[in-house]
Amino acid sequence: MPPQVAGPYLVQVELLRDRMPSFEAFPFCVPAIRHLQSMPFHPQVTFLVGENGSGKSTLLEALAVLYKLNPEGGSRNFNFASKETHSMLDRCLRLGRTMYLAKDAFFLRAESFYNVATEVDRLGLDKERYYGGKSLHAQSYGEAFFTLFEKRFHGSGLYLLDEPEAALSPNRQLQFLALMHDYCRRGAQFVIATHSPIIMAYPQATIQLLDESGIHEVPYEETEHFKVARAFLSNRKKMLRMLLEEE
């Protein structure tokens, strides 16, 4: 019998429309945000998917701020800000939480990972225990990402990840799935914005699609990511001829 674990930590997020300044202002002009009523979280993994500009990163950032995490990334101990650019969406959202408090929490965003690595060095955090024994700057981009997943994360934590596949090879993405599964079995909960058909294939998850009509759950096989990847791999030469055909 598996051990009893805490979690999940988040149940849903709700848009408080009476706090919105205007439907014309960013990010409320983004269709997925404008049409949001409430979105449930899976007890283990919730994927946010959609086209570029659909609002995935903006929503994830707001969730991080609501959970008292640094909007540029890191844990609750991180306070750095290279530039104040996060939206005011967090002021118009309400998190539905459970009775459990995550013992650990971390917000990872690929675009500001360099700044997070710099802050780890500045704070003099325990690199031997949490970061593979050396500065994240002394590792390749992919190695640093994976070291963070492998050494810094654990069970009983809430992890918000923005495009974790950005630095990971396909093989590393598969290894990431195995790590995530182990953490989930020990009480972790993940909310992940991703474009990777490998990562979003994790079975104990829901996939929330952000599009022109709002935010709604979709099966894995109905995501554009799965359909495009399958079509390309099934008939690569034909698709390339169509794409690269000269006028």
pLDDT in tens, 59-100: 999 999 999 898 877 777 766 555 555 678 999 999 999 999
Report CA torsion sign: 225, 226, 227, 233.
Answer: positive
pLDDT in tens, the chain (247 residues): 344 567 799 999 999 998 988 888 889 999 999 999 999 999 999 999 999 999 999 999 999 999 989 887 777 776 655 555 567 899 999 999 999 989 999 998 866 565 666 666 665 554 545 556 666 666 676 787 788 888 888 888 999 999 999 889 999 999 999 999 999 999 999 999 999 999 999 999 999 999 999 999 999 999 999 999 999 999 999 999 989 985 4
Domain locations in the chain?
A: 10-219
The CATH fold assigned to 10-219 is: Rossmann fold (3.40.50)
pTM for the whole thing? 0.88
CB 40 within 8 A of CB 215: no
- 148 has which bridge partners? none
Longest dimension (CA), the chain: 63
Buried b (16+ CB within 10 A) or exposed e, 160-191: bbbbbbbbbeeebbeebbeebbebbebbbbbb
Backbone dihedral region for residue 53 (phi beyond 0: left; psi -120 to 50: alpha; all else: beta): left
SS3 170: helix
Percent of the chain past pLDDT 90, that is, above it, reads: 60
